[in-house]
Amino acid sequence: MSDEHSETLTHILQTVEQICAGFPGEYWRAKDSDRAYPTEFVQALSDAGLLACLIPQEYGGSGLCLSDASAILTAIHENGCNAAACHAQMYTMGTLLRHGSEAQKTRYLPAIASGELRLQAFAVTEPTAGTDTSRITTSAVRDGDNYILNGQKVWISRAQHSDLMILLARTTPRDQVSKRTDGLSVFIVDMQRAQQQGMTVKPIATMINHATTEIFFDDVPVPAENLIGEEGNGFKYILSGMNAERILIASECIGDARWFIKTASDYANDRQVFGRPIGQNQGIQFPIARAFAQTEAAELMVQKAARLYDAGAACGAEANMAKMLASEASWAAGEACMQTHGGFGLAQEYDVERKWRETRLYQIAPISTNLILAYLGQHVLGMPRSY
Ligand SMILES: Cc1cc2nc3c(=O)[nH]c(=O)nc-3n(C[C@H](O)[C@H](O)[C@H](O)COP(=O)(O)OP(=O)(O)OC[C@H]3O[C@@H](n4cnc5c(N)ncnc54)[C@H](O)[C@@H]3O)c2cc1C
């Protein structure tokens, strides 16, 4: 990293810290209990240009690299905030950037960079397909100048807070393609227009405040010009964005882990029981120290994966390992923090129980730990496919 780049990043991280200071625990607690979207926080990040950090300068963004975006998300979480409400805006546009036409890029990217258009929603998962994306059945059938969408998506986060959505749908039925991942295509969906033409968005009540939804398509027309890249190649386009997603989510986990470790250590020093700080007991001190070691090690893998990604090198194994190790480190830190706080860990005013619930998600989404292990076993270690 050049001196100039490192200075810019330091300045950006100071901005992140200042923004986060304006959104303390009370803010997140209130949003959590009302299950409300943190609009003000997202707006502050957007106003500071942070959500456009990966958009190239020629399209109005700041053209930073993934390692920088990773540092930004870590800092947001380390400072007690939560970027889940908007992190997709950072990486979802990558599908458009890498595979969209010049016309699509000039139409959408500058508006996304300026905050005029929000691209927060990314729709892949379906209730009957689960992790097996090749089995999605939401169909897009060409009809003149449109494709007509029918089907259902589940767990589509931020759909109610987004102007655009990147959607994966089947354009050729599974039994008519030679490879099961062929015949899938990616579209840009205009959320407002689609909702006036047969698309329904229903919130899902969840254990965390994540603004996630189910989406139903009933003969929804999407202009053919909104197809990204070539029809039938969508799975490859989506896959190419997933490494970035995994590295960035892993970065958030590192931030969460650091928040838990600091909160736990502070409490362990302050809280006196049996006439001494509880941190004097190895049973309290060691799990925090262990989580610290796990976090530092996981962060090295996150940095390695981000560096490889930025260099344009293959990073599937590293991105997956980063996401798995970081989500396990943040969970270990969350558990240590919860246990250190005793009964107060369960009191909402300490923020521990909320962060503990929030960080648990990342062993499940965007990809579950078992599927990462299956990837490593098969593709890295050369063992038989387990599913
Ligand atoms: C809060 C939240 C937000 C989300 N946001 C989005 C979003 O914005 N967009 C989107 O498209 N999706 C989103 N998702 C979906 C998420 O990516 C999936 O939940 C995740 O990929 C797991 O899929 P599943 O829930 O269908 O689990 P399933 O595929 O049903 O798997 C259930 C369990 O079985 C295990 N399993 C399945 N197959 C195997 C196997 N072969 N070997 C070993 N174990 C296996 C899995 O590891 C998992 O533990 C979100 C999910 C949540 C909970």
Read off the pLDDT of residues 130-173 as tens digits, 9 standing for 90 and up: 999 999 999 999 999 999 999 999 999 999 999 999 999 999 99
What confidence category does residue 4 fall into, taking pLDDT thresholds of 50, 70 and 90?
A: confident
CA of 132 to the centre of ligand 1 (A): 9
Which residues have CB under 8 Å from 235's CB, separation 6+?
A: 133, 134, 168, 181, 182, 184
pLDDT tens-digit map of 331-341:
999 999 999 99
Cβ–ligand 1 distance for 371 under 6 Å, the answer: yes
Say how far apart CA 385 and CA 82 lie, in whole Å.
36
For residue 243, the model assigns a pLDDT of 96
pLDDT tens-digit map of 49-102:
999 999 999 999 999 999 999 999 999 999 999 999 999 999 999 999 999 999
CA of 131 to the centre of ligand 1 (A): 5
Inter-residue contact 79 to 16 (CB < 8 Å): yes
CA distances from 360 to 65, 207, 289, 332, 371 (A): 27, 10, 20, 10, 16
For residue 52, the model assigns a pLDDT of 96
pLDDT tens-digit map of 162-194:
999 999 999 999 999 999 999 999 999 999 999
Per cent of the chain over pLDDT 90 is 98
Mean pLDDT, rounded, for 103-123? 97
For residue 228, the cross-strand partners are: 186
Q: Which amino acid is at 371?
A: L
pLDDT tens-digit map of 354-368:
999 999 999 999 999
Which residues are known to be catalytic? 245
For residue 113, the model assigns a pLDDT of 97
pLDDT tens-digit map of 267-303:
999 999 999 999 999 999 999 999 999 999 999 999 9
Cβ–ligand 1 distance for 92 under 6 Å, the answer: no
Say how far apart CA 282 and CA 272 lie, in whole Å.
15
pLDDT tens-digit map of 7-39:
999 999 999 999 999 999 999 999 999 999 999
Index of the ligand 1 atom closest to the CA of residue 124: 11
Nearest to 42 by CA among 89, 7, 10: 89
Per-residue pLDDT at 1 exceeds 80: no
Quote the pTM value: 0.97
Index of the ligand 1 atom closest to the CA of residue 132: 29
Cβ–ligand 1 distance for 129 under 6 Å, the answer: no
What confidence category does residue 2 fall into, taking pLDDT thresholds of 50, 70 and 90?
A: confident
Say how far apart CA 269 and CA 264 lie, in whole Å.
9
pLDDT tens-digit map of 249-261:
999 999 999 999 9
Residue nearest to atom 21 of ligand 1 (CA): 367
CA of 44 to the centre of ligand 1 (A): 31
Give the mutation target among 137, 184, 210, 368 for probing the ligand 1 site: most ligand atoms within 8 A of CB. 368
Mean pLDDT, rounded, for 45-51? 97
Say how far apart CA 13 and CA 72 lie, in whole Å.
6
283 burial type by CB count under 10 A (0-12 exposed, 13-18 middle, 19+ buried): exposed
For residue 5, the model assigns a pLDDT of 84
What confidence category does residue 3 fall into, taking pLDDT thresholds of 50, 70 and 90?
A: confident
Per cent of the chain over pLDDT 70 is 100
pLDDT tens-digit map of 294-326:
999 999 999 999 999 999 999 999 999 999 999
Which residues have CB under 8 Å from 2's CB, separation 6+?
A: none
Residue nearest to atom 3 of ligand 1 (CA): 155
What confidence category does residue 240 fall into, taking pLDDT thresholds of 50, 70 and 90?
A: confident
Say how far apart CA 100 and CA 230 lie, in whole Å.
9
